[in-house]
Structure 1
Amino acid sequence: MEKRRHILVVDDDREIRQLLQAYLEQNGYRVTAVGEGKAMSRVLEEQRIDLVVLDLMLPGADGLELCRNLRVKSRIPIIMLTARGDEMDRILGLEMGADDYLPKPFNPRELLARIKVVLRRSAALPYDQPETTARAIRFADWTLDPVARHLESSAGVVVPLSGAEYRLLKVFLEHPNRVLNRDQLLDLTQGRDADPFDRSIDVLVSRLRRRLEDDPKDPGIIKTVRGEGYVFAVQVNNPGSTA
């Protein structure tokens, strides 16, 4: 019998914790629910966790700080719960390394669907192990190191990437010279459809351009195709690309 996946829910609202624990357990998961960061740390030290559902607003260390600290030492998937309509919170969550986010109030069925997608996407990687066999990917004046998850220029300048920037760049590198719209980019990076008001991809593209481009206002690597999306418009030295 397959071992049940273990979900850690971190939320200071007792009703939400109880609701999510009951609902996820009904759907076949093992669930531990805590109300703040210190308890979260103890659970992570003592038990194997497959995914963390992490509320942004917590007493003491907030969800962004906890997400950042966890991501430094672990690849455990994180789904961030954020206040509805606060785009910057969502962007910051992705920047700190969250794998997905869900605005409150939310339907538990949607959270369950997000959990399944994120777990399926992370299943290909060994538990908490880096991609040690991944090859460096070269494009334009840059080399992406998939193990260290940073860029290095031909002059030896190292540019660190956030988790969200890394995932978006990997998608572009795997689909060079193809126009990708927001729906496709969100699906490929986060496993979900785009909300009409969700501008997180546009913000991440702008951040990535500032990393890569000599002139981000006149980009030569990530180009905008009006009315369609974005195209990674350079040759990529990557045997795994689908160009």
Structure 2
Amino acid sequence: MAYKIMVADDDPEIRDVIRIYLQNEGYQTVEAEDGKQVLHLLDNHKVDLIILDVMMPVLDGINACFKIRERTNIPIIMLSAKSEDIDKITGLTSGADDYLSKPFNPLELIARVKAQLRRQSLASSASNLSMDNTVIEIDDLKIDRNRHLVSVRGKEISLTPIEFSILELMASHRGFVFNIEKLYQSVWKEDKFLSDNTVMVHIRNIREKIEDNARSPRYIKTVWGVGYKVD
């Protein structure tokens, strides 16, 4: 069964280019012109991934992403003509799993689509396995690997798929220090490491959600000059 990808961009030429490359890879596509249409289409289509432009009329990509995350944790790759770090941080904070600046190489976009779908598939396969250590407990933090649920003091925490994968990886290797490159390769399942702050933004987002004080974290510790670990 072919994956179905939603392409949301108000520029029909960009949608055409992305659609052609996706269909050449055997993916099905559904298209939207703005964020409001994205939400409407999600009511009628089961999609496996969303490519979401930031600058769209009616409802922009950032606010659409927030609303999508209220419904589902399917992977979201955000596109934007803006390339400043603050724009990338805003995109990832809204719940996107990856971020690509325009103009972009369509082959790089396809590579990122494949990486997200591969990671999602591996996560689904793992959740269907019967494992002895399906639940990781660290003080008040509980990670249910089978159900993909995280809670702190019994309160369920909503994490994106990428955020869950990062936290699960570090929590299952307590005390091990992961540098940014290792985290990227382990979670995104890509050998090529992109030199940007994507991983750091996701770490910050996780801390904001699970820590009482993100500036003085209890769970995800920074090892200065090296990387991150969960104690």
TM (normalized to structure 2)?
0.80
Between the aligned partners of 2:87 and 2:156, the Cα distance in structure 1 is 24
Between the aligned partners of 1:203 and 1:8, the Cα distance in structure 2 is 25
- Find the counterpart in structure 2 of residue 137 from structure 1: 136
Between the aligned partners of 1:214 and 1:57, the Cα distance in structure 2 is 33
- Find the counterpart in structure 2 of residue 103 from structure 1: 101
CA gap of 1:139–1:84, structure 2 versus 1, over 3 A, is same
Equivalent residues of 1:77, 1:118 under 8 A apart: yes
Q: Which amino acid aligns with 2:165?
A: R
Between the aligned partners of 2:12 and 2:148, the Cα distance in structure 1 is 38
Q: Which amino acid aligns with 2:54?
A: L
Count of matched residue pairs: 224
CA gap of 1:39–1:159, structure 2 versus 1, over 3 A, is closer
CA gap of 1:139–1:34, structure 2 versus 1, over 3 A, is same
- Find the counterpart in structure 2 of residue 172 from structure 1: 170
- Find the counterpart in structure 1 of residue 157 from structure 2: 160
Deviations 1:28-86 (A, max 9, x none): 22222221123323332223322211111111111122122222222332211123422
User: What's the CA shift for 1:206?
Assistant: 4.2
Q: Which amino acid aligns with 2:179?
A: N
Identity of aligned residues (%): 34
CA gap of 1:24–1:201, structure 2 versus 1, over 3 A, is closer
Q: How much is the aligned-residue C-alpha RMSD, in angstroms?
A: 3.1
User: What's the CA shift for 1:101?
Assistant: 1.8
Equivalent residues of 1:165, 1:204 under 8 A apart: yes
Unaligned runs of at least 5 residues, structure 2? none
Unaligned runs of at least 5 residues, structure 1? 235-243
Equivalent residues of 2:6, 2:51 under 8 A apart: yes
Between the aligned partners of 1:206 and 1:178, the Cα distance in structure 2 is 19
Between the aligned partners of 2:194 and 2:57, the Cα distance in structure 1 is 29
Equivalent residues of 2:98, 2:198 under 8 A apart: no
Mapped pair 1:76 → 2:74: yes
Secondary structure in structure 2 of the residue aligned to 1:76: coil
Secondary structure in structure 2 of the residue aligned to 1:32: strand
TM (normalized to structure 1)?
0.76
Q: Which amino acid aligns with 1:205?
A: I
Mapped pair 1:23 → 2:39: no
